[in-house]
Amino acid sequence: MLYLIEIYTSAFNGINFVVAIDQQEVVASSFDKKLETALNKILGNLPFDVPFQVFANPSNQARTILSILKEIYEGKKKDAEIPLAYNNFSLYSIKVLKTTISIPVGYVTSYCAIAKAVGGGPRAVGNVMAKNPFPPFVPCHRVVKSDFSLGDYGLGGSKIKFEFLSREKQGYLKPIMVNASGASLEVFSVEQVLRKYK
């Protein structure tokens, strides 16, 4: 059965948010000050053999997803239950992406800590983060280096990553352990990262 990927856009406070939806799942998401840049990032994450169309007016489902995307961007949304289309990913990539989703607002973890939870090494985790098609639903901005330096961020570099984390600070003081797809993942307060850059 032939299906169509639907692409929707919405602008909030000068930021363009874009989602691609396929049969009730998010295939890709993006955001940027320039709509063209955000759309190009989406197009780079679409399957090459599936037709797509950009729609001017969001459907009800797309409006809800775009609203959640905006709340995550603003540091407000704590639990986004968004169905993501993982079918084109390796099992390892899926484990890394799902583990990243388990990092709560107000916390960060390291590439090394994720590697300890899912296997592989920090570089392998970094490679998955670099190809994350679901930002910020999969909050790769919450993954930093072991010394709490920011590392890179594909959607605008470390400056955007710093801005994200600044909006997400909650005043937490101590590290905690969270359940990440059946494994334990140590997470640290956002403030530990932000203090490094004062």
- Choose the catalytic residue: 62, 69, 97, 140: 140
Q: Which CATH class for the 91-196 domain? A: mainly alpha
CB 26 within 8 A of CB 20: yes
- Helices 91-101/111-118 angle, 10° precision: 120
CB 27 within 8 A of CB 133: yes
Find, among 111, 119, 105, 132, the residue nearest to 189 by Cα.
105
CB 120 within 8 A of CB 92: yes
Position 47 confidence tier, pLDDT thresholds 50, 70, 90: confident
Element housing 192 (H / E): helix 190-196
Could you tell me the end-to-end alpha-carbon distance of the chain, in angstroms, rounded to an integer? 55
Residue 130: both structure tokens together: 């670099």
Query: What mean pLDDT comes out for the span 158-169?
Result: 90
Find, among 56, 40, 69, the residue nearest to 6 by Cα.
56
Q: Give the strands of the sheet with 25-32, arranged side by side.
A: 25-32, 15-22, 5-12, 52-55
- Rounded Cα–Cα distance for residues 137 and 89 (Å): 16
- Rounded Cα–Cα distance for residues 193 and 82 (Å): 27
pLDDT at 154: 63
How does pLDDT run across 57-72, given as a tens digit for each residue?
Answer: 999 999 999 999 999 9
Report the predicted TM-score, pTM, of the whole model to 2 decimal places: 0.92
Q: Please tell me which residue, 15 or 198, carries the higher pLDDT value.
A: 15
Known catalytic membership, residue 112: no
pLDDT at 1: 46
Residue ranges covered by each domain of the chain: 5-73, 91-196
